[in-house]
């Protein structure tokens, strides 16, 4: 399926040219106009690329998106030849027919040649999101259960696939020997592998000593399927870097890997001097001798000396390609008690040298103080972090709202993106609550927000991207017209890449669901071939499609037909160029479309009279 919803917000420039102004928009550069192209990666009822069944149910998890616009997603199928034996699969798409490929499916043969895939994921529940990540090579990592007996159950394996013939690779499997002699993988944690751009995965595993039956050791492990790339990052009973205790256990789903192969993880400790007061920590290592580093330890003093860390076991650290590790932590024995007892912190590239990114009670640029940290997302390669916090009145400590902020740990790098009760860019709703979903290396932030519709008690969710130049830009919102129906769900199932693209799961009121890819692009009024300059070639496109209601590349005013008004848009902008500039993009709003139609009539009428 090669379905593309292509929409442009032409209303701003057209209204300005007619002496009008749309609500919430200022009169400015009329030559550049925001635009988003939304491609449908997959939709319910669509045939699989192998033409064996159709997509039926997309799990309510965020699709995985790489920087070249490829989206990996988990799906259940219907109408397959094998029925329940092949009804689950992982696919990768980019919004084009040729870009949709199958990564793996139940009943496929395992690449190691001794069995087939019995279940994708670790268990019935974990199978909700079979894929665990996609890298910029288009490789997709996943954990799967095979049909090969293993003790009293079936063997699980860690796999990587890119959709090409022979592109499925076994990285590790229960019962398989490790590159180091005398040991074998015994059992994997229920958590799925973390993947980097080098094709390496990090995971928790138990390893058996082949010479001593029923002797097992739990490890944080990194592998790429080669003897040189497989390595242990940390192991239970291993001495800590400070030699004041050993690792006791590793928490499932509490580890991350960067493109340099460094793994940051949360661990419970034993044999420590402080017993239960210093038995939790975050560490970083790459498997080479001497690389294991303490990032933070329970009981350690905060960077400013005010309080001590209480590292929660449920916290997953974040790591960027510079090796900086960021995390949330509560604090004990602080000066002001629960007014300053938590914060977001970041190590330097060596793994230590902690900095405070933001602290509860800290004064914000808006004059409020930071309250509890409601949501915080990954660390980008610029060292920035996105977070939502309660806003407190410094005078009395009362909560007065909620704000969304970006910080790099410096005073000038801390700024507010939005706060509750602000009117949305589309002008008909107010922000109620923010749920940060992603942050890319350009500092663009992906935010899901709960919105209150003005003049009613209705609450909907919307997806927005924030950019330094364009502010908050709507990507999609519940209630928007979409694919001949209306969006009934968008939200937490969304991801952002470094190209500013957003992949998200959606549901429609007509019962369909699917995966969409919104691409933020540069555009220019009158630039009908999107080459960055308004020239004679754009006139030719307008001329050749004059009168069309289907070929709308030259629909400069967005009224659904190629007419004389589109020639005027081209003429008014002839010679303009946006090459080397950066503009942002948004999806259209139903209210704006109606206003565009009215403004188009006004413009045509004025020109006719003049």
Residue 148 has pLDDT above 70, yes or no: yes
Q: For 388-433, how does the pLDDT look when each residue is reduced to its tens digit (9 = 90+)?
A: 999 999 999 999 999 999 999 999 999 999 999 999 999 999 999 9
Residue with tokens 């560490």: 283
Q: In the structure, what pLDDT confidence band is assigned to residue 542 with cuts at 50, 70 and 90?
A: very high
Taking every pair of Cα atoms in the chain, the longest distance, rounded to a whole number of angstroms, is 95
3-32 residues labelled b (16+ CB within 10 A) or e (exposed): bebebbbbbbbbbbbbebebeeeeeeebbb
pLDDT of residue 129: 65
Closest among 382, 180, 368, 354 to 284, alpha carbons compared? 354
Closest among 474, 588, 578, 587 to 530, alpha carbons compared? 578
| Residues with Cβ within 8 Å of residue 606, at least 6 apart in sequence | 18
Q: Say which residue, 226 or 385, is predicted with more confidence.
A: 385
Q: Are 78 and 69 in contact (CB under 8 A)?
A: no
Residue 246 has pLDDT above 60, yes or no: yes
Distance, in Å, from the CA atom of 269 to the CA atom of 345, rounded to the nearest integer, reads 21
Q: Rounded mean pLDDT of 328-346?
A: 95
- The percentage of residues in the chain with a pLDDT greater than 90, rounded to a whole number, is 67
Tokens of 530: 């999107």
Distance, in Å, from the CA atom of 450 to the CA atom of 421, rounded to the nearest integer, reads 11
Q: For 596-606, how does the pLDDT look when each residue is reduced to its tens digit (9 = 90+)?
A: 333 333 333 33
Tokens of 470: 């364009």
Residue 228 has pLDDT above 80, yes or no: no
- Specify the 3-state DSSP secondary structure of 83: helix
- Of the candidate ranges 8-12, 42-46, 364-368, the one whose mean pLDDT is the lowest: 8-12
Q: In the structure, what pLDDT confidence band is assigned to residue 34 with cuts at 50, 70 and 90?
A: low
Domains and CATH numbers, the chain: 531-575 (1.10.1330.10)
Residue 144 has pLDDT above 80, yes or no: yes
- Of the candidate ranges 122-136, 208-222, 513-527, 557-571, the one whose mean pLDDT is the lowest: 122-136
360-393 residues labelled b (16+ CB within 10 A) or e (exposed): bbbebeeebbbbebbbbbbbbebbbbbbbbbbbe
Residue 267 has pLDDT above 80, yes or no: yes
Q: Are 579 and 532 in contact (CB under 8 A)?
A: yes
Q: Are 190 and 166 in contact (CB under 8 A)?
A: no
Distance, in Å, from the CA atom of 88 to the CA atom of 59, rounded to the nearest integer, reads 11
Distance, in Å, from the CA atom of 286 to the CA atom of 292, rounded to the nearest integer, reads 7
Residue 33 has pLDDT above 70, yes or no: no
- The percentage of residues in the chain with a pLDDT greater than 70, rounded to a whole number, is 86
What's the CA dihedral at 43, 46, 52, 57 to 10 degrees? 30
Residues β-bridged to residue 363: 369
- Specify the 3-state DSSP secondary structure of 562: coil
What's the alpha-carbon Rg for the chain, to the nearest Å? 27
pLDDT of residue 367: 94
pLDDT of residue 123: 56
Residue 4 has pLDDT above 90, yes or no: no
Distance, in Å, from the CA atom of 178 to the CA atom of 481, rounded to the nearest integer, reads 53
Tokens of 86: 């092949």
Q: In the structure, what pLDDT confidence band is assigned to residue 261 with cuts at 50, 70 and 90?
A: very high
pLDDT of residue 420: 96
Neighbours of 228 (CB within 10 A): 7
Tokens of 576: 């303009």
Please provide the DSSP assignment of 305-330 as one string.
SSSEEE--TTPPPEE-TT--EEEEEE
pLDDT of residue 303: 96
| Residues with Cβ within 8 Å of residue 536, at least 6 apart in sequence | none
Q: In the structure, what pLDDT confidence band is assigned to residue 192 with cuts at 50, 70 and 90?
A: confident
Q: Over the chain, what is the mean pLDDT? A: 85
pLDDT of residue 122: 65
Tokens of 123: 């268990």
Closest among 258, 264, 582, 256 to 444, alpha carbons compared? 582
Q: In the structure, what pLDDT confidence band is assigned to residue 213 with cuts at 50, 70 and 90?
A: confident
Q: Rounded mean pLDDT of 56-78?
A: 92
Residue 332 has pLDDT above 60, yes or no: yes
Tokens of 151: 């003790």
Q: For 277-317, how does the pLDDT look when each residue is reduced to its tens digit (9 = 90+)?
A: 999 999 999 999 999 999 999 999 999 999 999 988 778 89
Neighbours of 271 (CB within 10 A): 14
Residue 589 has pLDDT above 50, yes or no: no
Residue 319 has pLDDT above 80, yes or no: yes
Tell whether the torsion through CA atoms of 506, 508, 511 and 516 is positive or negative: negative
pLDDT of residue 1: 38
Half-sphere CA count of 177, side-chain side, radius 13 A: 7
């Amino acid at each position: 399926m090669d379905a593309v919803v292509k929409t442009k917000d032409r209303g701003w420039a057209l209204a300005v040219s007619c002496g009008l102004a749309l609500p919430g928009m200022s009169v400015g550069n009329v030559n550049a106009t925001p635009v988003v192209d939304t491609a449908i990666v997959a939709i319910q009822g669509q045939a699989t690329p192998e033409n064996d069944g159709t997509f039926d149910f997309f799990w309510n998890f965020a699709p995985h998106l790489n920087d070249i616009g490829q989206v990996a997603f988990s799906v259940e199928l219907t109408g397959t030849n094998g029925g329940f034996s092949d009804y689950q699969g992982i696919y990768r798409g980019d919004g084009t027919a040729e870009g949709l490929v199958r990564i793996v499916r139940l009943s496929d043969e395992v690449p190691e040649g001794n069995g087939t895939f019995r279940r994708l994921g670790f268990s019935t529940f974990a199978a909700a999101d079979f894929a665990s990540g996609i890298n910029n090579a288009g490789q997709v990592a996943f954990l799967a259960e095979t049909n090969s007996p293993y003790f009293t159950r079936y063997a699980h394996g860690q796999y990587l696939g890119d959709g090409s013939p022979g592109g499925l690779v076994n990285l590790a499997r229960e019962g398989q020997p490790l590159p180091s002699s005398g040991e074998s993988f015994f059992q994997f944690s229920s958590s799925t592998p973390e993947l980097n751009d080098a094709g390496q995965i990090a995971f928790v595993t138990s390893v058996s000593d082949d010479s001593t039956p029923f002797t097992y050791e739990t490890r944080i492990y990194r592998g790429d399927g080669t003897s040189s790339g497989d390595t242990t990052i940390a192991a239970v009973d291993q001495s800590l870097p400070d030699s004041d205790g050993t690792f006791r256990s590793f928490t499932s789903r509490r580890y991350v890997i960067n493109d340099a192969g460094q793994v940051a993880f949360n661990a419970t400790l034993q044999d420590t001097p402080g017993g239960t007061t210093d038995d939790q920590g975050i560490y970083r290592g790459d498997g080479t001798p001497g690389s294991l580093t303490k990032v933070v330890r329970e009981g350690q003093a905060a960077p400013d000396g005010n309080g001590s860390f209480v590292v929660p076991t449920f916290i997953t650290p974040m790591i960027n390609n510079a090796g900086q590790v960021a995390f949330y932590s509560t604090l004990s024995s602080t000066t002001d008690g629960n007014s300053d007892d938590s914060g977001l912190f970041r190590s330097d590239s060596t793994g230590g040298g902690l900095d405070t990114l933001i602290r509860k009670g800290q004064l914000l640029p808006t004059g409020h103080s930071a309250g509890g940290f409601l949501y915080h997302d990954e660390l980008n390669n610029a060292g920035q972090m996105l977070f939502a916090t309660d806003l407190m009145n410094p005078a009395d400590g009362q909560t007065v709202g909620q704000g969304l902020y970006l910080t790099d740990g410096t005073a000038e790098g801390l700024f507010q993106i939005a706060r509750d009760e602000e009117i949305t860019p589309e002008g008909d709703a107010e922000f109620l609550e923010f749920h940060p979903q992603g942050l890319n290396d350009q500092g663009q932030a992906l935010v899901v927000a709960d919105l209150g519709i003005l003049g009613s008690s209705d609450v909907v969710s919307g997806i927005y991207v924030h950019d330094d130049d364009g502010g908050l830009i709507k990507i999609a919102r519940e209630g928007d017209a979409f694919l001949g129906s209306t969006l009934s769900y968008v939200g937490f199932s969304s991801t952002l890449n470094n190209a500013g693209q957003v992949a998200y799961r959606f549901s429609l009121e007509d019962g369909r669901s699917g995966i969409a890819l919104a691409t933020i692009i540069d555009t220019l009024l009158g630039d009908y071939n999107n080459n960055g300059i308004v020239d004679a070639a754009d006139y030719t496109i307008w001329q050749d499609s004059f009168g069309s209601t289907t070929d709308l590349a030259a629909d400069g005013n967005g009224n659904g037909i190629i007419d004389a008004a589109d020639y005027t848009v081209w003429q008014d902008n002839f010679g303009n160029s946006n090459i080397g500039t950066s503009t942002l993009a948004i999806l259209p709003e139903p209210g704006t479309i109606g206003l565009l139609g009215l403004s188009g009539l006004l413009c045509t009428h004025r020109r006719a009279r003049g």
